Amino acid sequence: MGFEVEPGTEPAGAVLAKADYDGPGVHRVAFVRALAPASPPSGWTVRRHPQGEPIAEDVCALLMDVFVGEGFTPREQIGNALDPSLLGTRGAAWVAKDDTDRAVGVVFLVEPDSPFRQVAVPGEREVHFMAVARSHRRGGLAAALLTECLREARARGAKKVVLSTQPAMRAAHALYEKNGFLRNAWRDWSRDDGRAYWVYELALR
């Protein structure tokens, strides 16, 4: 037997889940609350940071959240690496801001003669501290930051771009490989505390 639910009697924001007929004048109707669609991440804009100027505090906080908060670097070993003034001298930097002007991404490109270099040699440029906020991952932001580094490296006449990444950073590995980077295990290295790093390279054409 068919039946109808009188319009306006269903719970607000609900959808019909089940309806049964139990005999004359007895209808059992079950509703479930409809889930609101997830809000997509806000937009973002990547801008170059003026080299030599201190890095903003919200960028430092983002780096702390990603590298320390996600377990890649012990808090007690971060030292002064995230000091705003020191970061400002590390190299060329690009910062991504969302629609509320909050930092949601950052990356640095380091010269081979920099005191901050890890593995770069003459003719190479080195990517450091790429970080993207959890809320803005899988949306193309990391690729956009990497593209800025590659563009700058080519403009400076580099023959190769290199970077160091931890074995547990699998999402980062996928990004690098998708963009043509290859791991060179011969250049892998470790810190004094035992943390291992894999080296990826991209030959520029």
* One-letter amino acid for residue 187 of the chain: R
Q: How many Cα atoms occupy the beta-carbon half-sphere of 120 within 13 Å?
A: 25
pLDDT of residue 79: 86
pLDDT 10s digits, 22-79: 455 444 444 344 444 444 455 899 999 998 999 999 999 999 999 999 999 988 888 8
Strands 124-132 and 103-110, by their bridges, are antiparallel
pLDDT 10s digits, 90-126: 999 999 999 999 999 999 999 999 999 999 999 999 9
Domains of the chain in sequence order: 1-37 (no CATH), 44-203 (3.40.630.30)
Distance from chain centroid for Cα 6 = 49
Look-up of token digits 């590390």: 90
The sign one gets for the Cα dihedral 56, 108, 199, 189 is negative
CA 180-171-199 angle, to 5 degrees, is 55
Q: Write the CB contacts of 1 (distance below 8 Å, at least 6 apart in sequence).
A: 21
Strands (E), 88-203: 92-98, 103-110, 124-132, 160-165, 182-183, 189-190, 196-203
pLDDT 10s digits, 144-179: 999 999 999 999 999 999 999 999 999 999 999 999
Distance from chain centroid for Cα 96 = 10
Q: For residue 180, give the nearest of 196, 155, 158, 163 by alpha carbon.
A: 163
Taking the model in full, what pTM does it have?
0.79
Q: Which residues pair with 131 in a beta bridge?
A: 106
Write down how long the chain is: 205
Query: Is the distance from CB of 159 to CB of 188 less than 8 angstroms?
Result: no
Residue 193 binned pLDDT confidence (cut-offs 50, 70, 90): confident
Six-digit token string for 69: 């908060």
